[in-house]
């Protein structure tokens, strides 16, 4: 500030030199091209090569998928060169005709609204979960990971599992009651009640041995059984929905069910396995190692094949597990073994000082992992985790070999429909499938990059 009493000794002249714009060779489109496309002889060659590749690939694809393509029609006639009178590219009416199968497989037409509800609910719950700023994260996560799978299960299968015996029934104690209402059997729920009470009683009896408080232990057991009971009640209750066997599921529905189950199950399982592998308890450590190495050592096809065709031979009598469920369990265990190694990589990257610091402030090992180590380790391995997710999403196509018709499987079956057999049906179908897989995988990839940037904001080196 200058005043008359305290004149400053120097005032900068106001007529400073105006900044010159950067030389023409460094700015604008020309400058950018010079810097990025034609900076050196090597770059020039690479650029030319790139342009050639684009010219060789893009125009034929545009011609096949758009310019020469047929968009309207009701059967193969519409896509034949004889009918159209010119070379024909993609036969899009084929995709339109098979659209319902692509989305729902062989799901009965009258029941497809159930799949739509599951799709819609999934989107509604997932989007706010993925947006960092959206509120109510805890409630949202509980809804998506806890309640949504239950609703989906009941909607997609029809629920009404007709559960008959719970623990006691297996040893012949079924109280001899046959009454049932709304799909719920009295004997099952009597057994459940008795088991709950027994568990609470034994919990109270044993609590002092382990230094717990009787009331708290009993209450904890009651809560656990209540949650299990509510889940079973929902699955057992007859909501009046017709049953739809999983063999009728197909298309995108199956692809998403397998991929989402695999993704959601593999992360927590993988974290547990990774922690187990680094545990100092030999039993935990070696069982984790054996599990991981076994599942990483066999191909997914073998796992699926074994689960589908060999397992029934070993199971007693007429005891069967649903085919899709077997594939789901196989995929989840397989993916978790891979996930475990990714997470272990993250754990190893955390400096020892972090562990020591956490211990120094008095954290027990569980809290140390939860509050200090895992948040850092998981952040480090986001690319690896998402890599696994993407791989898993694409691996779901392998279920075709065990007669589960996923998106690709349903398209392959549709290729054999004589009403749509044309020279280009096959390429149209595969082109479309490729597009669908790309949309999902690229979406996951972009989201993980955004997530990395957000979590990395204060730590960029």
Partner 1 sequence: MVHSFKRILLAAGVLALGVGAAGAATLDDVKARGALNCGVSQGLPGFSNPDDKGNWTGLDVDFCRAIAAAIFNDASKVKYSPLSAKDRFTALQSGAIDVLSRNTTWTMSRDTTLGFNFVGVMYYDGQGFMVRKSLNLKSVNELNGASICVQTGTTNELNVGDYFRTNNLKYELIAFATIDETIKAYDSGRCDAFTSDQSQLYAVRLKLTNASDHVVLPEVISKEPLGPVVRHGDDQWFDLVKWSYFALVDAEELGVNSKNVDQMVSSPNPEIKRLLGSDGKFGEAIGLPVDWVARMVKQVGNYGEIFDRNLGPNTPLAIDRGLNKLWNKGGLQYGMPVR
Residue with tokens 């610091």: 357
Kindly report the backbone phi and psi dihedral angles of residue 13, in degrees, each rounded to the nearest multiple of 5, phi listed first. -65, 140
Q: x-or-dash pattern for partner 1, window 49-88, by CB under 8 A?
A: --------------------------xx---xxx------
Among 17, 109, 209, 360, binds partner 1 (CB under 8 A): 109
416 lies in the site for partner 1, by CB under 8 A? yes
Asked if 346 contacts 378 with a C-beta cutoff of 8 angstroms, the reply is: yes
Nearer residue to partner 1 within complex by CB, 76 or 344:
76
* Token pair of 268 as six digits: 């927590």
Among 421, 435, 439, 450, binds partner 1 (CB under 8 A): 421
H/E stretch holding 248: none
- Residue 155's Cβ-side half-sphere holds a number of Cα atoms within 13 Å equal to 19
To partner 1, the closest distance from the beta carbon of 453 in angstroms equals 43
Q: State the distance between the two ends of the chain, measured CA to CA, in whole angstroms.
A: 40
321 lies in the site for partner 1, by CB under 8 A? no
213 lies in the site for partner 1, by CB under 8 A? no
Among 245, 293, 322, 456, binds partner 1 (CB under 8 A): 245
116 lies in the site for partner 1, by CB under 8 A? no
Nearer residue to partner 1 within complex by CB, 23 or 316:
316
401 lies in the site for partner 1, by CB under 8 A? yes
Residue 354 neighbours by CB under 8 Å, 6+ apart: 372, 373, 376
Instruction: Tell whether the torsion through CA atoms of 160, 161, 163 and 167 is positive or negative.
Output: negative
422 lies in the site for partner 1, by CB under 8 A? yes
- The angle formed by the CA atoms of residues 176, 180 and 183, to the nearest 5 degrees, is 135
Nearer residue to partner 1 within complex by CB, 15 or 82:
82
**64: three-class secondary structure by DSSP:** helix
Nearer residue to partner 1 within complex by CB, 77 or 293:
77
329 sits in the region (left: phi over 0; alpha: psi -120 to 50; else beta) called: alpha
294 lies in the site for partner 1, by CB under 8 A? no
Nearer residue to partner 1 within complex by CB, 152 or 425:
425
Return the DSSP state at 184.
E
Residue ranges in contact with partner 1 by CB under 8 A: 75-76, 80-82, 97-98, 100-101, 104-107, 109, 245, 247, 309-310, 312-314, 317-318, 401, 403, 405, 409-410, 412-419, 421-423, 425-426
């Amino acid at each position: 500030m200058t005043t008359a009493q305290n004149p400053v000794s120097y005032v900068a002249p106001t007529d400073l030199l105006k900044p010159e714009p950067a030389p023409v060779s460094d700015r604008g489109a020309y400058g950018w091209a010079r810097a990025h496309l034609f900076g050196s002889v090597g770059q020039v060659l690479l650029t030319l090569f790139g342009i050639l590749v684009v010219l060789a690939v893009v125009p034929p694809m545009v011609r096949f998928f758009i310019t020469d393509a047929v968009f309207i029609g009701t059967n193969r006639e519409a896509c034949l060169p004889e009918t159209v009178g010119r070379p024909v590219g993609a036969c899009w009416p084929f995709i339109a005709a098979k659209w319902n199968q692509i989305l729902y497989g062989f799901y009965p037409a009258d029941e497809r609204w159930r799949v739509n509800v599951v799709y819609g609910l999934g989107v509604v719950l997932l989007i706010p979960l993925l947006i960092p700023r959206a509120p109510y994260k805890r409630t949202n996560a509980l809804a998506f990971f806890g309640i949504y799978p239950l609703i989906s299960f009941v909607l997609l299968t029809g629920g009404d599992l007709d559960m008959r015996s719970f623990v006691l029934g297996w040893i012949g104690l079924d109280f001899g009651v046959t009454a049932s209402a709304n799909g719920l059997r009295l004997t099952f729920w009597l057994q459940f009640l008795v088991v709950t009470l027994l568990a609470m009683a034994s919990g109270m009896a044993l609590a002092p041995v382990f230094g717990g408080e009787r009331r708290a232990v009993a209450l904890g057991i009651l809560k656990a059984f209540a949650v299990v009971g509510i889940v079973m009640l929902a699955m057992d209750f007859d909501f009046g929905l017709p049953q739809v066997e999983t063999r009728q599921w197909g298309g995108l529905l199956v692809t998403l069910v397998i991929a989402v189950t695999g993704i959601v199950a593999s992360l927590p399982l993988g974290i547990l396995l990774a922690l187990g592998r680094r545990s100092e308890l030999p039993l935990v450590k070696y069982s984790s190692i054996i599990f991981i190495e076994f599942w990483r050592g066999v191909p997914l096809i073998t796992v699926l094949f074994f689960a589908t065709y060999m397992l029934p031979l070993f199971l007693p009598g007429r005891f069967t597990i649903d085919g899709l469920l077997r594939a789901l369990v196989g995929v989840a265990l397989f993916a978790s073994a891979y996930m475990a190694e990714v997470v272990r990589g993250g754990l190893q990257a955390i400096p020892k000082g972090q562990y020591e610091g956490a211990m120094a402030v008095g954290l027990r090992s569980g809290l140390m992992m939860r509050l200090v180590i895992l948040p850092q380790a998981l952040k480090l391995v986001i690319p690896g985790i998402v890599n696994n997710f993407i791989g898993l999403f694409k691996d779901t196509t392998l279920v075709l070999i065990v007669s589960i018709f996923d998106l690709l499987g349903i398209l392959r079956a549709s290729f054999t429909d004589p009403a749509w057999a044309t020279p280009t049906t096959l390429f149209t179908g595969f082109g479309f499938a490729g597009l669908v897989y790309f949309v999902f995988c690229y979406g996951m990839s972009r989201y993980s990059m955004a997530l990395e940037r957000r979590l990395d904001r204060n730590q960029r080196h």
